[in-house]
Structure formats: C-alpha cells, structure tokens
Structure 1
Amino acid sequence: MPKLLVVHHTPSPSTQAMFEAVLAGAAHPDVEGVEVVRRAALAATVSDVLETDGYLLGTPANLGSMSGALKHFFDTVYYPCLDETRGRPFGYWIHGNSDTSGTERQLLAITTGPAWAKAADPVIATGEPDKTVLAACTELGGTLAATLMP
C-alpha cells in the first residue's frame, strides 16, 4: 500500500488548523489504498522518508525562514535519502505572520536536490487561516494522497 508522509511543525493554532485540514483531505473517503503517516518534524526519520512514496511538508515562516524543526528534518534525512527518493511527489503549506517568500525559497531549494516533484500548488497563508485557506489545505492533502493511489 502506498504511503504519504506528512512532516510538520505546528507550534501555533494557525499552523495546527492548516495541518488538520491537510490530514482531513488526505483521509477523504474518495482516497483509497493510501496510508497516511504523520510525523512531527523533530521526530521524522530516514526510515520514515525511505518507506513512504510521497511527502507533505508543513512549516511556519519564522523570521523569513522555515522552522528550525523542519530544517533539522532535512539536515537529518537529506543525504541518506537523496538518491532513493528521486522524483517522488511532494507538496507543502506555509503559514506566516508576514513575509513567507524566504521560507518557500528554502523549501524549493532543498527539494531540488532529490528532484522531488511538486504535485500540487502550495498553500501559503498569512494571518489567521480562513475557510478558503483551510479548504485549500484540504485539497492539498487530498491531491497528494490521490497522486499515490494504486
């Protein structure tokens, strides 16, 4: 059964709400035959990455950068997973209080190494996530999970 790994750092109510919407989309009844594995960024391992078929990444934008937790995740898994995960689909969501462009730039730069394939438009939000943002997160989760359906 294909697996979707959701790696997240959700320290605020806003990032948590977006995370929950992503999970709801990934677990939608129309998505069949895909196991959703969720890991906090500080707990995700090389084995988690190697044993899954696609990735959803969630982070706050902290001072123009991805969270230290998500950076730690990449520092831990990047080289051990570089060749084995080439071309796998991924998506991401970012929440910030203001500018999120540096965070997105970092995510895209890091995922270029293993040539992960962006499988859906990202969800990028500032301020409190409204219904439109949460619906986009649900769609993001559903899209990534559906991409992996057998």
Structure 2
Amino acid sequence: MQVILLQDVKNYGKKDQVVEVSDGYAMNYLLPKKLAVKASQESINLLKSKIKKEDINKKADIEKTQKLKEAIEAITLNFKLAQKDGKSFGSVSQAQIEEKMLKEYQIKIDKRKLLKHENLNQIGLFYIKLKLDFNIEATINVKIESKE
C-alpha cells in the first residue's frame, strides 16, 4: 500500500514522502497512529502543492537572509577603549557587539552565532564572522579606537 508519511518513520522514510509499505503495517500501525495517510491522487496533489509552497517560502527566506548579510557587511561598529602607554584597558565582548547592533541598527543577532570570537582588547579594525541561517556567513566590521 502506498502512504504519505506525516512524520519521520524509522526505516521507512521522512515526513512528506510517498512510500510503499505492507498493508498490515499501514492499517494496524501507521494509519491509526496518524503517522501516515493513504496515498490517493488527491492527497498526492495536496502534497505537491504543499511542497511547492514551502519551496517558495524557503526562497523568500534565503533572499531575506542575503539582504540581512548585505546590511550587516555595510556596517562598521565603533568602540572606544581607554589606552595608556600603548596598553589598552578593557575589551569589547560578544554581548557588546550584539547590543550595539540592536541599539544602533535594529538588527538582532545572536552572540552565540559569532564564529571564533574572543574579547577584543586592542586598537584596530577587526572582522568578525557571523553565521546566519541557510549557512550564509556575514562579516561584521568592528573598529576600536583610543578614548584619548
């Protein structure tokens, strides 16, 4: 019997797949537990339209993420650190970067998505990688200047 899986079923397939299973397994387990529905022409057409709609939504989400990446890469965050005799006092943390992005640019980022970031405690320009959705990476420019 052909069924459309409504959830992942171990050894048979993933959600939204059309699979062939034995009649007994379908009638006694999959259908009563609502893990699958019988694959009729109508249900297959509904599945195809659902998958098409999900693809369109995913493409739109990827475009949004790409625009977010472009917006992030156009920004340079400026911080000031106290410095005396060439030695800096204090540092810029992930939380400060996250807070400044939200406060000044209304862009919410998750500090845990910053890749290989340590607290910045030197004067200069730093490039910090940020992992966004869909394996898209953006680079945040952080410029640290002396307070003097």
Give TM-score, length-normalised by structure 2. Answer: 0.25
